[in-house]
C-alpha cells in the first residue's frame, strides 16, 4: 500500500500551490503577446498541490505554463497531485491534436514518476479537451490506471469533484468574446512589423495603399475574432474574404469615383486590384485562428488550406498584375 508522501521534494515530487504570483502573471502576459512562445513551460513530472495523501486525486495537464497555472489556480483548498506531461510547451487541446498529450506520454509519465507508489486509487483525471490524444483503454492496459475525463474548463473542477458528475454545461466548449479577445494580442504581434511599416508609409507619404494595408491587417487580427460568430459561412477563409471585402469596399469605391480626371478604365483597374489584393490578405491571416479555436478540426483545417490558399494566391497575384497594368497605363498616358 502506498505511504503518505510528507516531503514531496525529497521523493522526486515537486511542491506547488494554488497561488499565482506576479512572476507567473508576467509570464502569462508575455505568452499572450507571443513573446518567447516556446519558453513558457514547466518541468514535466509529478507535483504535490497542498498536502496530498494517498487518497488524493491525481490530475493530468500539459507543461504549458498557462495550462498548468489554470489547473492549480482552480483547485484552491484542494489537495492533490498534478501529473505534468511533456507537451513541448503546447496547451492541452493543441498537444492532443499533435500527439504530445497522448497515450504513450501519459503511460511513460505514470511509470517514470512511480505514480502507483504515491496514490492508492489507480485513476487519473484528464481535461476533456485532451481526449482526442488519449486512448483510455490502452492507458488502462499498459499502466493499470483508469482515465476519467473532467470538465472542459479547469474552473469547473471543484464543482465536478463534489460528485464526479459533469453537467452538460461543463461538457460544452465555450468560445465567448473574452476567449476570442485573448487571442488578439498574439495575432497583432504576428503582423506587427507589417503594421509598423504600413503606418510609417502612411504618415510619411499619405499613400492610400498604406492605409488599405493597415485596415486589412487589423480586420484579420482584431475585428475577425470579435465578429467570428456572426460572420456568415462555416469556413474561416470565406469568413475572412467576406470581412476583408467589407472593410476594403470603401477604398475600392474611392479609387473608382475619385480623380475623375483619370480615365475610367484606369480607375476600374485600380478598384478591381484593391478588391483582389486586400480581401485575400485578410483571409490569409484569419487562417491563423483555425489553430486557436475549438470551432475547427485537423481535417477541416487541412481542407481549408488546400482549397483556399491557391485561391488567395491567384487573387493576390492578379491584383498585383492589375496594379502594374494601371501604373504602366498611367506612364503611357504621360
Model confidence over 188-217: pLDDT tens digits? 998 999 999 999 998 888 789 999 999 999
Strand-strand pairing, 14-16 and 45-49: parallel
pLDDT of residue 298: 65
- State the average pLDDT over residues 254-278: 91
65, 24 contact by CB (below 8 A) = yes
Residues 55-78: tens digit of each pLDDT: 999 999 999 999 999 999 999 999
CATH 3.40.140.10 fits 8-174, yes or no: no
Tracing cell 504549458 back to the chain, one arrives at 64
In this structure, are residues 163 and 135 in contact, taking their beta carbons and an 8 Å threshold? no
Separation CA 141–CA 118 (nearest Å): 19
Q: Span 156-168, mean pLDDT? A: 91
Cβ neighbours of 106 (radius 10 Å): 26
The share of the chain scoring above pLDDT 70, in percent, equals 92
Averaged pLDDT for residues 110-135? 94
16 neighbors 72 (Cβ within 8 angstroms): yes
Lowest-confidence region among 43-47, 253-257, 259-263, 320-324: 259-263
Residue ranges covered by each domain of the chain: 8-174, 179-333
pLDDT band, very low/low/confident/very high, at 54 (cuts 50, 70, 90)? very high
Residue-wise pLDDT for 37-48, tens only, equals 778 899 999 999
Q: Mean per-residue pLDDT for 174-185?
A: 84
Q: How far apart, in Å, are the Cα atoms of 35 and each of 20, 30, 142?
A: 20, 5, 39
Amino acid at each position: 500500500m502506498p505511504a503518505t508522501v510528507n516531503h514531496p521534494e525529497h521523493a522526486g515530487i515537486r511542491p506547488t500551490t494554488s497561488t499565482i504570483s506576479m512572476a507567473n502573471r508576467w509570464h502569462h502576459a508575455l505568452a499572450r503577446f507571443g513573446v518567447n512562445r516556446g519558453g513558457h513551460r514547466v518541468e514535466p513530472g509529478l507535483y504535490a498541490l497542498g498536502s496530498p495523501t494517498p487518497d488524493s486525486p491525481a490530475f493530468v495537464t500539459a507543461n504549458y505554463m498557462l495550462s498548468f497555472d489554470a489547473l492549480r489556480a482552480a483547485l484552491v483548498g484542494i489537495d492533490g497531485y498534478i501529473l505534468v506531461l511533456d507537451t513541448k510547451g503546447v496547451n492541452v487541446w493543441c498537444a492532443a491534436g499533435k500527439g504530445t498529450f497522448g497515450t504513450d506520454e501519459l503511460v511513460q509519465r505514470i511509470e517514470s514518476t512511480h505514480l502507483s507508489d504515491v496514490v492508492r486509487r489507480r485513476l487519473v483525471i484528464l481535461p476533456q479537451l485532451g481526449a482526442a490524444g488519449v486512448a483510455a483503454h490502452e492507458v488502462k492496459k499498459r499502466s493499470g490506471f483508469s482515465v476519467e475525463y473532467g470538465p472542459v474548463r479547469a474552473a469547473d473542477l471543484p464543482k465536478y469533484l463534489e460528485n464526479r458528475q459533469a453537467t452538460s454545461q461543463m461538457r460544452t466548449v465555450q468560445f465567448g468574446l473574452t476567449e476570442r479577445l485573448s487571442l488578439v494580442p498574439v495575432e497583432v504581434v504576428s503582423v506587427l512589423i507589417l503594421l509598423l511599416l504600413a503606418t510609417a508609409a502612411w504618415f510619411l507619404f499619405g499613400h492610400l495603399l498604406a492605409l488599405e494595408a493597415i485596415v486589412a491587417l487589423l480586420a484579420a487580427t482584431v475585428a475577425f475574432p470579435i465578429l467570428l460568430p456572426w460572420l456568415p459561412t462555416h469556413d474561416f477563409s470565406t469568413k475572412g474574404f467576406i470581412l476583408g471585402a467589407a472593410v476594403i469596399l470603401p477604398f475600392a469605391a474611392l479609387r473608382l469615383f475619385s480623380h475623375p480626371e483619370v480615365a475610367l478604365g484606369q480607375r476600374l483597374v485600380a478598384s478591381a486590384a484593391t478588391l483582389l489584393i486586400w480581401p485575400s490578405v485578410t483571409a490569409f491571416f484569419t487562417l491563423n485562428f483555425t489553430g486557436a479555436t475549438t470551432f475547427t478540426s485537423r481535417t477541416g483545417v487541412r481542407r481549408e488550406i488546400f482549397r483556399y490558399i491557391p485561391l488567395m494566391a491567384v487573387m493576390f497575384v492578379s491584383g498585383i498584375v492589375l496594379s502594374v497594368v494601371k501604373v504602366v497605363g498611367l506612364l503611357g498616358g504621360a
